[in-house]
Amino acid sequence: MPPHCELDGAAEPAGFSAEVAAANNSKKRGRDASSRGRAIIFDFDQTLTKAQDVLHQGKTVKAEADKVKVFEDMTDDEVVRNFGGKERIGALRTMLRDLFERDVSLIIISAGYRRALLPHLESVGLATPFFEFDHVWGQECERLQRVRFNKSRLITELMHEHGWTYDDVLFVDDSEDHIKKAAPVCQTMLVRGNGLSLDEIQAITNR
């Protein structure tokens, strides 16, 4: 059975480290998301990552989080390359740290699997303390399934729950379709290439 991904009471997977869990539990006690004034919602593949080609079982495949076995078998070097290299990872970490310190809620809504993408985020230092486990949504999550994987519908629900207005929320995705559907709901940013560029990362940091 896939894990439920409700905001309260979600079960954390075996691969989710004790350090991650402890940091996020502490964060929940001290800085509950519902009390924050703004949120940024990221796609994962080709937004946070650059979705590189990797060799898997003799075939060249795109490293995206809907391919769980591919993600599980990737080497550390392949994971780093999939995030665009060390410089880009550093820029992403700086962005996330700055947003986190400004009390911006950080959320991921992905068409990939949460159990695939979270270990990759953790391995390059982009998980703790920025993304709480239950603020990361993948296709195995019941709540995303209930809205038929329509990201704008889930965003609308989250905004209603937390009292966020249109101007409080920025949704960042590489899909024109997802951006078009979300445009009436919140602020949006279409990623223009394969993954956020350094300039786009800086623009988000400077918001």
| Residue 159 pLDDT level (bands cut at 50, 70, 90) | very high
The conformational region for residue 46 under phi > 0 = left, psi -120 to 50 = alpha, else beta, is: left
What pLDDT is recorded for position 188? 98
pLDDT higher than 70, residue 24? no
pLDDT higher than 70, residue 34? no
**Structure tokens, 26:** 């502490």
Calculate the CA dihedral of residues 191, 182, 188, 67 and round it to 10 degrees: -30
Please identify which residue in the block is written with the tokens 């990221």.
42
pLDDT higher than 60, residue 11? no
At 188 the three-state DSSP class reads: strand
Please give the distance of CA 129 from its chain centroid, rounded to a whole number. Answer: 13
Q: State pLDDT tens for residues 73-126.
A: 999 999 999 999 999 999 999 999 999 999 999 999 999 999 999 999 999 999
Distances (CA, A) of 28 to 25, 72, 99, 145: 5, 29, 16, 25
From CA 162, how far away is CA 140, in angstroms rounded?
23
pLDDT higher than 90, residue 143? yes
| Residue 191 pLDDT level (bands cut at 50, 70, 90) | very high
**Structure tokens, 45:** 């593949």
E strand or H helix at 97, and its extent?
A: helix 86-101
| Residue 37 pLDDT level (bands cut at 50, 70, 90) | low
Please identify which residue in the block is written with the tokens 């409080």.
168
* pTM as predicted: 0.82
What pLDDT is recorded for position 50? 95
| Residue 22 pLDDT level (bands cut at 50, 70, 90) | very low
Average pLDDT, the chain: 86
What pLDDT is recorded for position 207? 82
Tell me the average pLDDT across 169-198: 97
What pLDDT is recorded for position 28? 43
190, β-bridge pairs:
173
